[in-house]
Amino acid sequence: MRLDSRLAIVVLSSVLAGLALPATSHAQTAAAQQHLLDAGINLGWAAGIVDSDGGVTAANSAEIGGDLARARAHVAAFRGALATPPYDPAPYAALERRIDQLASRIGGMSRVQAHREIRQLHQNLRSAVSVFLSARTGRLQRDSTCDASVVDVGFHFGRGHTSIQRGNTNEEQRARGSLRRAIEAGEQASRRLGCPFAGATYRGLPMMSTPSPAAYARALPAAQAGTARGRVTGGGFRTATGGTGFDVSPGASPGRAPSGGSSPSGGSSPRGGRPGEPNVARPDLSCDWSSSYGAIHWSEGWYGNQSKTLRGRLHRRGSGWEWRGTWGRTNSSRSGTVVLTFETATSFSGYWTEGSSSTQHGWSGSGTCPH
């Protein structure tokens, strides 16, 4: 089978209606689809700031920059979860570069220009996940998918969240209308393709009926947890890595806890917090943590196996924590840098680079040390 590398190649977790064979999926785990949701939320937060504040100002530029940085980190983490080959991570790496470029020049942009640029990032991400590998034809097909709708749900939720916080009720109402349409599209894709989409959870979020800052704060962790519990219509599916995807049994627990630190109103913020939110507690690195590259033995300085070295330190960054260091090999000259951002005291996402290359590869993980 020849795959067209020109397409934004992803896999959608789906079982085509009426087929015995599953299609291949890009939302391989609950954490992967959560990265799409949280990337959308952070882009939506940035869009809501621009629309409510009338542009990028000295007062809001740091907040917008933080939202863009977190969106980029989620795209990188999602890219790191792709199975390569056959799936091409290039569209996501290109999107990460575009986010970096926008972050470097957004200061002082007019409302119209910043609005256009941020919405283009949203559309680029949505387009990248609107492709799946058909079990019927063995070919890539471009179509509206569950994952594209998850991106949309996140984006419009973020817009509404920021708008209501800033008292822009008209913009919040428009965002909520777009959110309803995104949910409808996701439910249609789920019925058509058998892919996981938490439509019932999204429809039942408290701000859908009673929009307020407190209702949005309560809705945020519920949306994240509901995404983690996304159920497949029509049975199980295999993933691009050959393992199983979501636990589709009734009442299944999410594979990953909702992220973010608690806010005074009882909500949480996806992976990293925003200015003015409570600080994330210092992560406990005294025990081993699980990660996308094997167990991390922080105190012993290795991960996966003892030939893979890891050296660095943890330091406060904004309201959260960041671990910066280097990785290497005891059996070769390979080495590079590592940057891990702790969204909560028990989870992180970030990236690694190799040698002189600036290409970033996603790295995520979690851990809870016994007390």
pLDDT one-digit tens code per residue, 209-250:
999 989 998 899 889 888 877 654 333 322 222 222 222 222
What is residue 22's predicted lDDT score, i.e. its pLDDT?
36
What is residue 139's predicted lDDT score, i.e. its pLDDT?
67
CA-nearest of 14, 10, 11 to 196 is 14
Contacts 24+ apart (CB under 8 A), 298-306: 303/327, 306/330
Q: How confident is the model at residue 16 (pLDDT cuts 50, 70, 90)?
A: very low
Whether 222 is covered by a domain: the verdict is yes
Mean per-residue pLDDT, 164-179:
94
Whether 207 is covered by a domain: the verdict is yes
Taking the alpha carbons at both ends of the chain, their separation in whole angstroms is 52
Residues 36/129, Cβ–Cβ less than 8 Å = yes
Alpha helix positions (H), 23-89? 30-53, 61-80
CB-based burial label for 276 (10 Å; 0-12, 13-18, 19+): exposed
- Residue 172 CA to residue 169 CA, distance in Å, equals 5
Whether 10 is covered by a domain: the verdict is no
Q: pTM to 2 decimals?
A: 0.61
What is residue 30's predicted lDDT score, i.e. its pLDDT?
54
Mean per-residue pLDDT, 251-263:
25
What is the residue-averaged pLDDT of the chain?
A: 76
In this structure, the answer to whether residues 116 and 190 fall within a common structural domain is yes
In this structure, the answer to whether residues 42 and 159 fall within a common structural domain is yes
Q: How confident is the model at residue 190 (pLDDT cuts 50, 70, 90)?
A: confident
Mean per-residue pLDDT, 97-110:
91
What is residue 280's predicted lDDT score, i.e. its pLDDT?
77
47-63 per-position pLDDT tens digit: 999 999 999 998 889 89
Read off the CATH number of the domain in which 143 is found. Answer: 1.20.1630
What is residue 279's predicted lDDT score, i.e. its pLDDT?
67
Mean per-residue pLDDT, 95-114:
92
Q: How confident is the model at residue 252 (pLDDT cuts 50, 70, 90)?
A: very low
Q: How confident is the model at residue 274 (pLDDT cuts 50, 70, 90)?
A: very low
Q: How confident is the model at residue 208 (pLDDT cuts 50, 70, 90)?
A: very high
Cβ within 8 Å of residue 341, ≥6 positions away: 73, 271, 272, 317, 320, 321, 322, 348, 349, 350
Q: Is the pLDDT of residue 29 over 70?
A: no
Whether 262 is covered by a domain: the verdict is no
Residues 69/351, Cβ–Cβ less than 8 Å = no
Mean per-residue pLDDT, 80-99:
80
What is residue 202's predicted lDDT score, i.e. its pLDDT?
94
In this structure, the answer to whether residues 92 and 207 fall within a common structural domain is yes
Helix, strand, coil percentages for the chain (3-state, nearest 5): 40, 20, 40
- Residue 136 CA to residue 138 CA, distance in Å, equals 6
Last residue of a domain, one of 228, 255, 278: 228
Going 214 to 219 to 220 to 225, the CA torsion angle's sign is: positive
CA 279, distance to chain mean position in Å, is: 21
More confident residue, 51 or 320: 51
95 CB-side CA count, 13 A? 31
Poorest-confidence range of 52-61, 80-89, 292-301, 308-317? 80-89
Q: Could you tell me what percent of the chain has a pLDDT over 70?
A: 73
In this structure, the answer to whether residues 44 and 149 fall within a common structural domain is yes
User: 328 vs 21, 84, 285, 313, CA distance in Å?
Assistant: 41, 22, 20, 15
In this structure, the answer to whether residues 294 and 198 fall within a common structural domain is no
Whether 3 is covered by a domain: the verdict is no
In this structure, the answer to whether residues 156 and 303 fall within a common structural domain is no
Mean per-residue pLDDT, 61-71:
92
- Domain holding 339, by residue range, is 290-366
- Residue 223 CA to residue 226 CA, distance in Å, equals 5
Domain count, the chain: 2
- Give the angle 101-328-317 at the CA atoms, nearest 5°: 45
What is residue 230's predicted lDDT score, i.e. its pLDDT?
62
127-163 per-position pLDDT tens digit: 988 877 666 666 667 788 888 999 999 999 999 999 9
More confident residue, 278 or 303: 303
Q: Is the pLDDT of residue 297 over 80?
A: yes
